[in-house]
Every structure is written in C-alpha cells, then in structure tokens.
Structure 1
Amino acid sequence: MSEAAARPRRGATTIEEVARAAGVSRQTVSNAINAPQKVRPETLARVTATVERLGYQPDQSARALRTGARRTLGYLAPVDDPFDPNPLMAGFLEALVDAAGAEGQRVLLFRPAPGTADPRPAIDELLAARQVDGLVLADVLTDDPRVAHVVRSGVPFAAFGRTGADRPQHWVDIDNAAATAEVAGHLADRGHRRVGFVGGAAALPWMADRREGFRAEADRRGLTVVEPARRGGAPGGAEADRAGAGVAAVRALLRGPGRPTAVAAGSDLLALDVYEAVRAEGLTVGRDVAVVGFHDTPLCRHLHPALTSVRLPLPAIAAGLVRLLLAQVRGERPPGGGLVLPAELIVRDSSG
C-alpha cells in the first residue's frame, strides 16, 4: 500500500479515535484543542502530535452549534467594477483576510444584490442566516446609513472610517490631515512656494481632511495654495469625476506665469490626471512640476517618474479592526474612542 493510501483522509478521523490513539479521554482531546491551558504540557504534546499524525479536523459546524461562535467575520465589500477594481480596497481585503486568519477567523464577503444600491437587505439576510459573528464596514461616511442600520441590529461591527459622534466609536482610521500636512512640508522643503491641491468629491470626509491638512501646513509654511476651478468656479466639485474633466481643470491651472510648481493629489488616480495634464502642457513631471499622490497603490512604482505618495498602513488598519470587532464578540468593552493610525510618505522621483 502506498504512503498516500495509508495516510488517513483529512477530516475523516473522529475525536474518539484521537483519544484512543493518544491514550487519553475524549474531554482531554477537546481541552487540548479548545483550552490547552487546562492540559499538562506532556499530555498536550502527545495529543497534538496524535492530532497531526491522524489528520484530525474539529467539526466547526458542531462547535458553532455548541458555542454560538461562527469564527467568521462579514465584510460588506464596496460595489466595484471587476474590470477596473479599486486597488486600495483590494489591498485592504488582503490585509483583512490575513488579520482575521491570525485570530483564527474567516472573512465572508457579501454585497447588495446586483442592480441595487441599498445594502440593508443584504445585511439583514446575512444576520438572519447567523453566518457571521460581526461585520466590517469600509469607506464609512459621517452619517453613514449602514452604520445606523447595523447599530439598530445590535450586531458587533468595526468600521474603516470614522462614525458620527452619536454612533458607537468602533472605528479605525488614518490621520488624513497629518498625512497631507507632511506632503505640504515635503514640498516646502523642496523649495516650492506656489502649490496646487487636486481633491475628489468635497463631501467625502477623508478628502475634506486631506485638503484641510494640506492647506493648514501650507499656510504655516508661507505657501500659496491654488486649486483647479470646477463647476461654477468652486474647487472640489463633482465635475472632476467625469472623464477628462479633471485633466482639463489641471491643465487650466498650469497655464500662465502663476502656475504652481508642485501639485498634491488626494488620491493616486487623481495624480494620474495631473501627470496627463502636465505632459499635455509640454511640461515634465518631477522637473517642471512636482507631483504627490495618496494611497501608494502599486501603480506608483510603475509610473515614469515613479510617484511620491502617502502609504496607508493597511495591515495595521485591518489588525485594529479585527481586534476591535472580536472584543465585542467576546463581550469585552471596546475602547471609548476610535483608533487613529499614522500614514507614511513614500518619496520617489515625481516630487523632485
């Protein structure tokens, strides 16, 4: 008989067989798996070796029925285009799965039904099925209806992004204002005196913080800040999100003798518009116009020149979310406020 044939099929061994092979009781095997601190070290070593040798896999469904714990966290995934996915959120998902796995947890992805925008029915369906112990939300807004719905449901949750002041402060976020203040200081240290800021939708709280942090530090350093004019002459309007509108707005900003010598963008995708606008005006990124992005997505390293950008600590964010969520699942009292993490400026050739 071959070695492969002799080896027990993974998951086919019962706990009783492990107990007999190890010369202990069924309860001792259970304690070794679920509460090893209750088992003497020499016994624990013998049971652990037997479990590995026989390929025993605990019945997770039975454990869930007995304890009520599913060891699964639900992640309400943002609606995205599979042919043009958001690289930041893809990186966040990788970090979340790793952080959950380190705690013995799985991540179950779900989202609203195709063609619908309201996530509440999908949340209700998942909770009714009792498939998860808690929820992770991302891209959270100040008065986010998802947060209000989850709070009413009573399910443990953790949010990537700050919840409103009247909501439970179960969130992890970066210090967006401090990050862009560092960008402004970096440009000032490079000798720039007139700088631009290109933001996305002004209603997004993280983008508002990035703009505010950049402007505050620029003012402190004596820099002049200019922004592209959008619909009605107001900076930061929705028109920048239309194809080509952002590039045209930045090109207008770069024309004339008073053009900025550096431009900070509120995201790496917006920085791509700046690259295109700079080149369309016959200028060179990094030499004539310094450019800085935000998020440090993989594309930054492949641009020419490579893009200076703010890197989010995605593993630390994910680990903080998992710890915060599991504390609630275990009935522990979570911290009174959210967790704010610093970001890191990664300097490359685009900022001179």
Structure 2
Amino acid sequence: MSDALPPHRRGGSRPRIVDVARAAGVSAQTVSNVLNERPGFTPETRERVLAAVRSTGYIPDPAGRHLRTGRSRRVGFSMSRSDLDPRNPFTLAFLDAVLSTAAQLDQRVLVYTHDVHVEGAFRADAGRGETDGFVLANSAPGDPRVAILEELGIPYALMGRTLPAQAQAWVDIDNAAAIASAVDHVIAAGRSRIAYVGHDSDVPWIRERERGFVDALERHGLSLPAPWRLTGSVAQLRDRLDAVFAGAEIRPDALVTASDSLALLTVDVARRHGIAVGSELAVTGFDGGALATLARPHLTTVEIPVPAIADRVVRRLLGRIDGTDDAASGEIFATRLVVAESA
C-alpha cells in the first residue's frame, strides 16, 4: 500500500515546497511563482512544476496564498433550496457547468443554499469574505442578492439580468425569440391549432416566453384561444390538459411548452388519452437538458447553451475581480431548436 503514495508521504510527513522544487529541478521561488501565477517562467517550467506538485502530493496552503495575493481563488454560487428540485434540473446543470469551468481555471466553488427571500442569511454568508466573488443563476432585475453584493462591494456575474443602474455583468438568452423558433417549427410542419403550456410565475423569463409565443402566433395570422392558454401548478396543469384532451370537440394539434418538465407532463397526459405524440400531437419543450433525451419520444426542444453561458459567466466574474471587465453591458447567447421525435 505504501508504494502507491508519493515519496514524501510514505513517512507520514507533509510534502513541502522545497520537495516540489527538488522534484522539478527548480528553485522554491519558481514553484511559488508558478502556483501564484506570477510572471517569469516558461510554459515548460510551469508544466514541470505542476507535474512535481502532483507526484509529491504537495498541497499549497490556501490561507497563506490568500494573505499573499488577497485572493482566495474561491467563487461563491448562490442557490435556493427549491433549485434542488429534480423536477426542474436547470440550476443543477448550470452549477455543474460552473464547476467545470472553475476547475479549468484553478478556482474552487463554494455553494451557498438559502430559502427564497432569506436576505439576511445571504448577506451574512457573502460578508464573511470566504470568496472573491459570486456567480448567480436565475437572477431577475431587482434580485436582492445583487443589491447586497453591490452594497458590500463584492464582484458578481450572473445568468439573467440586472437593473439598469447596476453592473451589467450578465449573460442571458432572448426567451421570446427562442420560443418563437418552436412556434415556427410546428407551423412549418402543418400544425395550426396550437396551445401554450406555461408555469404560473411572474419571473421575467417565463413572461417573455409567453409573450414570444403569442407574438409568433400573431405573425403567422393565428391567435391563442383562452382555453388553450394553460398555466398553473403541475397539479392544475394536469387537470387542465385532461380537460383539453377529453372534453373539447376540437383539440390542439400542437402544444408549445415553457420547459422540458412541462413537456414531459404534456406527453404523459396525452398518452393516457390515447393520443400519439409526434404524429397526432406535436409537443415542444424548452431547456434542452437531460429531461429532453430521457423522454419517450425524445423531445423537440429549445436548447439553452448552458455550458457556454456558465463558462462566460465565470470568466466575466474573474474579469471583474481582476479589473479587466468593466461590466458595461450584458451579453445575449443564441439558443437552438433541437428537432426530435415529439414534433
């Protein structure tokens, strides 16, 4: 068993920076320069030092590094407990992408979870100085977390939007244009009786998706009958879909939904009524995560480029920390419609 350990750990002593220097054939100062990203060494030297760090099992002292550089190399990620709901996995997918980019950039991520609207707890966590800045997801204009971070002078970047007077360190999508692509697709496929299934929520991206849906219908000379505007909780939507599929003389031939989870609900209810999804009824989702591929039939869905957005948000945060991103403007990333069997 002991032969599997780095040489300096077999005797139980913790490897030191001089051990790394000896293994890499450089000075201890060069090792320090590499680990703290100071200039003055070649890429080859950097790789040799990092290889020696791995082989010796050396672990830099984060407290010491923080004192020397003023940087902890840690970023905070704030989420509510509701974001952990597996029925809506978007935030978890975003966190996973944040972790991936952070690891590439030698950053660590501290996750802070709070109940919604518990501003005091977030303020206390943010004010501890454990991180260099924060990444936020699902952030709408007026998000109290943004105001707290600005008040405390803590850098942040986010997916969503901020108020005009706040730092524009955001990355987002055009939700209205994104859902319009789904409407265009089902109409091009010959569908003309199109219903909408959405969450009962006032958050901006949900409102924008419904607005984009209605605008796209009108552009094609179609309208949305009131009984075919289906919003509410999951339980309410199940009942309303039942009513649409069972009782009406004329029923929709397409349902455009505001999320993949709602598309799955729609597919489930349609199946119980003996409706063949894909041929008799077109169903589209929105998010493009794992749920879309797990569904049967596979969902046609608007795919949000989560890895690319998360990567950009993390890099914008580090730019704000370094002073290279002035947060003068936000950025819009394009979505794409992934066409599969459901529509």
User: TM > 0.5 between the two?
Assistant: yes
Partner of 2:90: 88
Q: How far did residue 98 of structure 1 move?
A: 0.3
Contact 1:308–1:349, Cα closer than 8 Å, also in 2: yes
Q: 1:341 to 1:82 in 2, by over 3 A?
A: closer
Q: 1:266 to 1:339 in 2, by over 3 A?
A: same
Partner of 2:284: 292
CA distance in 1, matches of 2:294, 2:218: 33
Q: How does 1:122-201 map to 2 (within 5 A)?
A: 122-201=121-200
Amino acid at match of 1:201: D
Q: 1:285 to 1:44 in 2, by over 3 A?
A: closer
CA distance in 1, matches of 2:43, 2:299: 53
Partner of 2:72: 70
Contact 2:84–2:92, Cα closer than 8 Å, also in 1: no
Q: 1:250 to 1:108 in 2, by over 3 A?
A: same
Q: How far did residue 178 of structure 1 move?
A: 1.4
Contact 1:174–1:340, Cα closer than 8 Å, also in 2: yes
Amino acid at match of 1:186: H
* Alignment deviations for residues 70-92 of structure 1 (CA, whole Å, 9 cap, x no partner): 11111112213867453222211
Amino acid at match of 1:109: V
* Alignment deviations for residues 168-215 of structure 1 (CA, whole Å, 9 cap, x no partner): 211111221111111011011101112111111241211111112222
CA distance in 2, matches of 1:71, 1:5: 27
Q: 1:70 to 1:6 in 2, by over 3 A?
A: closer
Contact 1:198–1:227, Cα closer than 8 Å, also in 2: no
CA distance in 1, matches of 2:296, 2:50: 53
Q: How does 1:1-352 map to 2 (within 5 A)?
A: 3-4=3-4, 7-9=7-9, 12-20=14-22, 24-35=26-37, 37-39=39-41, 47=49, 50-80=52-82, 84=86, 86-112=88-114, 117-226=116-225, 228=227, 235=229, 240-241=232-233, 243=235, 245-254=236-245, 255-351=247-343
Paired positions, count:
340
Contact 2:90–2:289, Cα closer than 8 Å, also in 1: yes
Contact 2:244–2:251, Cα closer than 8 Å, also in 1: yes
% identity of equivalent residues: 38
Contact 2:127–2:152, Cα closer than 8 Å, also in 1: no
* Alignment deviations for residues 301-330 of structure 1 (CA, whole Å, 9 cap, x no partner): 233322211121110111011011111111
Contact 1:198–1:270, Cα closer than 8 Å, also in 2: yes
RMSD: 2.7
Contact 1:324–1:334, Cα closer than 8 Å, also in 2: no
| Structure 1 unaligned spans of 5+ | 230-234
TM-score normalized with structure 2 length = 0.88
Amino acid at match of 1:3: D
Q: 1:17 to 1:99 in 2, by over 3 A?
A: closer
* Alignment deviations for residues 226-273 of structure 1 (CA, whole Å, 9 cap, x no partner): 3546xxxxx565xx1152x10222233344343221010001222233
Amino acid at match of 1:175: D
Contact 2:320–2:327, Cα closer than 8 Å, also in 1: no
